[in-house]
């Protein structure tokens, strides 16, 4: 007796369409193929084994031997096999099309030989669009049921020193990787949010409406991304410690502490300029004088007063050490 595919436990067939018993949606199944039905079940978190051998073929006729490359299996489409060779095993399109071993392995499994590398490129892009459609369907199903997601961002640098932004979308029980986008130049927080919105909109997800939390790599970017957006910004623990240490050691608002009881005379601005200029020229190996030009930046509109009182600084390193020890004490593991 012919074996009936397990996919029909979830569908009712009506001609060239099948009605899902879960969401009542009609899915095309022309030519008795069940690939579209299996992809639809992924939306409901139901994953069945893919099988390109006829569902009505007796089990005794199905192949049970394992190949040296388990990737080459009739359970996968040719597009998926080629895409995995390129993405997971880092084979170039030219190598895939010219490798005798790959070509013979594909032919042994009943696949059509690949003519050239251009065909490989089209197959990879075609399968990428298929996966993108599956991910979009799964995400839209969750959004239609009132679910919300969180996003994790990370920067990736390839061996060719090309920078990419990697995005992961998380739900309660699953996560998806919609892909990476190339980064050109600097990436301030505003540009990161703009690029993230463009990535999410490809899957019909609105950043301000459907995303409730963002976690990203990089301590300064974390804080800056949380300010212009109303989305909850989850700080990484390791980068949080980084921010705390930097805030103690390099506080921009720290007031200089000097010894009020010193007997030294106030130092004039001209004397400071002369001292710094001499030190700078000595460091360059006796560089020539710049005819009295000031080395101070003239970004400020106001001029420096020659008679300005600048007290001698006294570095209060003890305060910094105490604050730093307090931070370490918070995260120190108990013995």
The pLDDT score that the predictor gives to residue 169 is: 92
The Cα 300–Cα 31 span in angstroms is: 76
Domain end, chosen from 30, 54, 78, is at 54
pLDDT digits (tens, 9 = 90+) for 43-84: 776 767 544 433 444 444 444 333 334 444 446 788 888 888
The pLDDT score that the predictor gives to residue 3 is: 56
Domain membership of residue 255 (yes or no) is: no
- Is there a single domain that holds both residue 131 and residue 195? no
Q: In the chain, where do the E strands start and end?
A: 11-14, 17-20, 26-28, 149-157, 163-170, 175-183, 211-216, 232-233
pLDDT digits (tens, 9 = 90+) for 189-227: 788 888 888 889 989 998 888 998 888 776 666 677 777
Which residue range(s) make up the domain with 113? 70-147
- Is there a single domain that holds both residue 231 and residue 153? yes
Domain membership of residue 281 (yes or no) is: no
- Is there a single domain that holds both residue 199 and residue 216? yes
**In which band, very low, low, confident or very high, does the pLDDT at 170 lie, cut at 50, 70 and 90?**
very high
**DSSP type of residue 321:** H
Domain membership of residue 35 (yes or no) is: yes
- Is there a single domain that holds both residue 153 and residue 101? no
The Cα 173–Cα 147 span in angstroms is: 11
Q: How many domains does the chain have?
A: 3
The pLDDT score that the predictor gives to residue 31 is: 63
- Is there a single domain that holds both residue 45 and residue 117? no
Domain membership of residue 139 (yes or no) is: yes
- What CATH number does residue 218 fall under? 3.30.420.10
- Please list the residues that pair with 313 across neighbouring strands: 258
- Is there a single domain that holds both residue 135 and residue 176? no
- Is there a single domain that holds both residue 154 and residue 124? no
Give yes or no for residue 16 having a pLDDT over 60: yes
Domain membership of residue 170 (yes or no) is: yes
Domain membership of residue 326 (yes or no) is: no
- Is there a single domain that holds both residue 89 and residue 136? yes
Domain membership of residue 283 (yes or no) is: no
Tokens of 66: 């394992």
Class of residue 243 by CB neighbours under 10 A (exposed 0-12, middle 13-18, buried 19+): middle
- Is there a single domain that holds both residue 37 and residue 99? no
């Amino acid at each position: 007796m012919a074996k009936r595919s397990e996919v029909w436990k979830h569908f009712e067939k009506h001609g060239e369409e099948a009605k899902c018993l879960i969401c009542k949606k009609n899915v095309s199944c022309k030519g008795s193929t069940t690939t579209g039905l299996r992809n639809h079940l992924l939306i409901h978190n139901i994953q069945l084994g893919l099988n390109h051998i006829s569902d009505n073929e007796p089990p005794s006729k199905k192949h049970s031997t394992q190949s040296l490359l388990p990737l080459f299996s009739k359970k996968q489409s040719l597009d998926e096999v080629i895409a995995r060779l390129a993405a997971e095993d880092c084979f170039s399109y030219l190598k895939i099309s010219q490798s005798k071993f790959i070509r013979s392995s594909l032919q042994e499994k009943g696949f059509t030989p690949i003519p050239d590398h251009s065909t490989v490129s089209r197959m990879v892009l075609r399968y990428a669009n298929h996966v993108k459609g599956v991910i979009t369907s799964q995400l839209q199903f969750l959004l239609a049921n009132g679910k919300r997601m969180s996003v994790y961002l990370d920067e990736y640098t390839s061996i060719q020193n090309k920078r990419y932004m990697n995005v992961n979308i998380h739900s309660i029980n699953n996560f998806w990787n919609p892909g990476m986008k190339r980064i050109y130049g600097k990436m301030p927080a505003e540009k990161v949010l703009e690029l993230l919105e463009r990535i999410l909109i490809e899957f019909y997800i609105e950043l301000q409406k459907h995303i409730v939390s963002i976690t990203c790599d990089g301590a300064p970017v974390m804080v800056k991304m949380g300010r212009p957006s109303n989305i909850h910004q989850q700080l990484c623990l390791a980068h949080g410690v980084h921010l705390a240490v930097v805030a103690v050691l390099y506080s921009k608002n720290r007031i200089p502490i000097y010894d009020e009881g010193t007997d030294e005379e106030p130092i004039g601005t001209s004397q400071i300029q002369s001292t710094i200029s001499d030190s700078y020229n000595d460091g360059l190996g006796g560089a020539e004088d710049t005819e009295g030009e000031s080395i101070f930046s003239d970004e400020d509109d106001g001029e420096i007063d020659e008679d300005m009182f600048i007290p001698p600084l006294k570095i209060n390193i003890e305060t910094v050490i105490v604050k730093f020890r307090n931070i370490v004490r918070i995260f120190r593991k108990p013995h």
